[in-house]
Structure formats: C-alpha cells, structure tokens
Amino acid sequence: MEYAVSSDALKGKVILVTGAGDGIGKQAAISYAQHGATVILLGRTVKKLEATYDEIEAAGYPQPAIIPLDMKGATKQNYIDMVDTIESQFARLDGVLHNAGLLGVLSPFDQIGEDTYDDIMQVNVKAQFLMTQAVLPLLHKSEDARIVFTSSTVGHSGRAYWGTYAMSKFATEGMMQILADELSDTTIRVNAINPGGTRTSMRAKAYPAEDAELLKTPLDIMPLYLYLMAPEGKAVNGQCIDAQPK
Ligand code: NAP
C-alpha cells in the first residue's frame, strides 16, 4: 500500500516523539517537522536531542522543543509535569509517537536477569503506560489526535532468545488494542507500527554480523509514520501495521 500524505499534512500540529535523538525516532521527528509539525523531542541523551533540534532548525521547519527525560527512572509525576510544560508552552498536543525502546541482551529464557527484565519492561511498557495516561487529557482537546506505538515482528510472534524485548512488544500491542477500542468513540486514533529490520544502532546490536547496507533506512519507512499521524490516516484505528510488509 502507498502511504501518501500532502506536504503540509501536519501543519499546526504539535507532536511528541520519544527517542528522538537517534535511529527511527530522530528521522520521524525530522519528517514530522518537514510536514509542518512542531515536534517535541524527548529522550535521555541531550547532545543527541540537540543534534536533531539543530537539523530541524537548519532546515527551516517549525521550531522544535526538547524534553530531556530518562524513561528508565521517570515517575508518574515526571509525566504529569511534562504535560504541564507542554500545555503551558504549546497549549495543545495532537500526536504522540512512542518510539523509544530498549533491546537489552538476547539470551536463553532461563538466563534473563531480573534487572534486565525490569529495565526493559520499565522503558518499553510502563513508561509508555504512564506517559499515555498523562497525555490523554491534552489529546482529548485536539480535534484529531493520534497515538502511535512501536512494536516489532517479535511483538506478535514469539521467537527464541528474544525474551523480555519480545514480551514487552506483545504488551505494547495489547496496550494499543485496549486503548484503540476504549477511545474508538473519541477523536483519538491509536495504532502501532512494526518498522521491520531498519538500519539503526539497535538493529546492529541485535544482528552484529549482517550487512547493514542491505537494510532499509529510517527515511525509507517514513511514509507509514507520516500517514498514521496525518489526516490521510484518520480511518485507521487499532492496527499494528508492518512498515516493510513481506
Ligand atoms: P535506537 O537507534 O537504539 O533508538 C532508540 C531510541 O530510544 C534512542 O534515541 C534512545 O536514546 C531512546 N531510549 C532508549 N532508552 C531510553 C530511555 N531510558 N529514556 C529515553 N529514551 C530512551 O533504536 P531504533 O532501531 O531506532 O528503534 C526505535 C523503535 O523501533 C524501538 O521501539 C525499537 O524496539 C523498534 N524497532 C526497531 C527495529 C529496527 O530494525 N531498527 C525493528 C523493530 C522494532 P539514546 O539515543 O539516548 O540511547
């Protein structure tokens, strides 16, 4: 399927992107800004967020904002404070791309450490749960709001050694389906994207021996990321869509 959107599809919208300093999240922030959105760049490494900010500013897209936050340690109150900041600065929020994620270490099930389990579930699931709860009141004020989660092929079909990461993506897809169903009578649409193998540092960590040049880049998979945030994708709800269908 072709996911085409107009060049100013996101004009006037305010979109929060987590993990906006690297990989897919960085490209999504730039692409959303290119299509007119004011993007809020959330992540844990300020230097990387600043690099995304600088690229957006140099391109002449709407001025972004940076929210430094380590989702591993962030509390419910941190997310409430974050939303207060967004509301006072922008008075609106139209979209959230839940993109930040931790891979952890691939290992046999019986060797998954409790700390690794806790860290991955915290960043990939609980942080998104708390953040979503906090942003919902602001999203409800938008006439056309979107929440886009990020899953994985191992988020709908379990695979040996993918352990906690895969479990976290199953939980992510569940959270997406529950919210989409609950919000179906509202102006908020909720979906997920499975990026498929994409040339980033997370992919290189999972597949150190492969030739990264053969992989799609984050830019290649942007049409779907744009479509699910744009008016063109408004009819889609409760789906996990493959950015690289077989
Ligand atoms: P990446 O290059 O490793 O980027 C992940 C981003 O998440 C980074 O910006 C990272 O920040 C941020 N992050 C990690 N832990 C965080 C924390 N505690 N607090 C705040 N931010 C945190 O990975 P990617 O490949 O772009 O992955 C993006 C999403 O796509 C993830 O949800 C991943 O599971 C999913 N995915 C990727 C692929 C693929 O082939 N690449 C395939 C399927 C699914 P730092 O830069 O500071 O580390």
pTM > 0.95: yes or no: yes
93-127 pLDDT, tens digit each: 999 999 999 999 999 999 999 999 999 999 999 99
d(CA 168, CA 123): 9
The pLDDT value recorded for residue 2 is 84
CA distance from start to end of the chain: 12
Which residue's CA is minimally distant from atom 31 of ligand 1? 101
The pLDDT value recorded for residue 101 is 98
For residue 121, the CA-to-ligand 1 centroid distance in Å is 14
Helix (H, G, I), strand (E, B) or coil at 141: coil
Protein residues with CB under 6 Å of any ligand 1 atom: 19, 21-25, 43-45, 48, 70-72, 99-102, 123, 150, 152, 195, 197-198, 200-203
DSSP string, 160-215: TT-HHHHHHHHHHHHHHHHHHHHTTTSSEEEEEEE--SBSSHHHHHH-TTS-GGGS
Pairing of β 240-242 and β 38-43 = unpaired
Angle, helices 163-182 vs 114-121, to 10°: value is 30
Per-residue pLDDT of the chain (246 residues; tens, 9 = 90+): 789 999 999 999 999 999 999 999 999 999 999 999 999 999 999 999 999 999 999 999 999 999 999 999 999 999 999 999 999 999 999 999 999 999 999 999 999 999 999 999 999 999 999 999 999 999 999 999 999 999 999 999 999 999 999 999 999 999 999 999 999 999 999 999 999 999 999 999 999 999 999 999 999 999 999 999 999 999 999 999 999 998
The pLDDT value recorded for residue 246 is 84
Question: Which of 16, 39, 124, 202 has most ligand 1 atoms within 8 Å of CB, for mutation?
Answer: 202
Helix (H, G, I), strand (E, B) or coil at 154: helix
The pLDDT value recorded for residue 20 is 98
Calculate the average pLDDT of the chain: 97
Can 207 be counted among the known catalytic residues? no
Which domains are delineated in the chain? 14-242 (3.40.50.720)
For residue 167, the CA-to-ligand 1 centroid distance in Å is 16
